[in-house]
Structure 1
Amino acid sequence: GNLKSFDGLNNQALEVVYRVTVGGPKVTPFNDSLWRTWVPDDEFLKSSVGSEKYYFGGRINYRVGGASREVGPDNVYNTARLIRSKNDSVPNVNMTWVFPVVGGYKYLVRLHFCDIASISMRLLYFNVYVNGQLALEDFDLSLVTNSLASPFYADFVVDGDVSTGALSVTIGPSKSSLPHVID
């Protein structure tokens, strides 16, 4: 089905099924102010041709009113996976994570973003798909955060696929993407 507004989330009982960090090692409760555990994404990553893990050693720029360390710790926001272009074109490559779920239930998917790799703002555009549905189109994180290395998160409520028993998240290039943005 299509992505649409979901009302009444505050009235729902939620259970954490997965808490995943992309491109980084396991984050233990010792390194999370709310004592959570975040597992590496490796076992869920299904298509990642040309991707590489990336670590940012600088300071994460938490904004007032934006994502905080309680939403996601530094150790989540300072790692990523990058797809680098090999020539002067935008790589037509997606990264897809697939999570086994029980079909027939609704799932809150919280996606954490932090542009720790760009050399300048307003250059990195991408599309996000949740269960094959376009969730964010031509998304430029710097337009939302007005800064590099500034975290942002977006929440989506989706149905677990009964036929596949899976929930998928895909990130891919936008038609607005530019080649060599992070090379």
Structure 2
Amino acid sequence: MQMIDDPLVRAMMPIPKQGAGAFYVDDPEGRLVEILILLSKLSSPILRVVNPAWAIRADHVINELQNTNIQPFVVSELTAKDSPMVNTIGQACTYAPRTVVLAGQPDVVVPPSVKRITTELDTEKFDYQTLLATPWEALGATVVKKWMRKEWPPTEARSGRKAAHR
């Protein structure tokens, strides 16, 4: 699997949300925070969108979900006691234009509107130095350009059609 095919990378892409637009990724050891910060550069090299659950309230997250439709908002370090906040966010994101990515302990109760995803970015499959060296800003800009040209997401049929025209 390539890095771009990882479900967490897909969830963090700077494109308008698809479906409910809410994702939960298990992070039992707290290793995803730095990776989420790197992935947030897909949509902005300077704006901080990764927030720890202990430093933010659900009403603030709900307000943030109204700000944009292409930059995901991330709440990290969720624990079982944050399940009511996850439920509130899950209900609100159904109608909000912004994608939300939640990360935390596996025992957090996740409502049906929030899709559980997995990632391999925190495994030995992907070297941390490679993640650091990846030009996330350039990748994000390319994705936005391709989305606006209706070339994203890439499909085999579209790739074959372009190859036939060359």
Q: Does the TM-score normalized on the shorter chain lie above 0.5?
A: no
Higher-RCO chain (CA-CA 8 Å, sequence separation at least 6): 2
Give the shorter-chain TM-score range. Answer: under 0.3
Give TM-score, length-normalised by structure 1: 0.26
TM-score (norm 2): 0.27
Q: Counting strand residues as a fraction of each chain, which structure ranks higher? A: 1
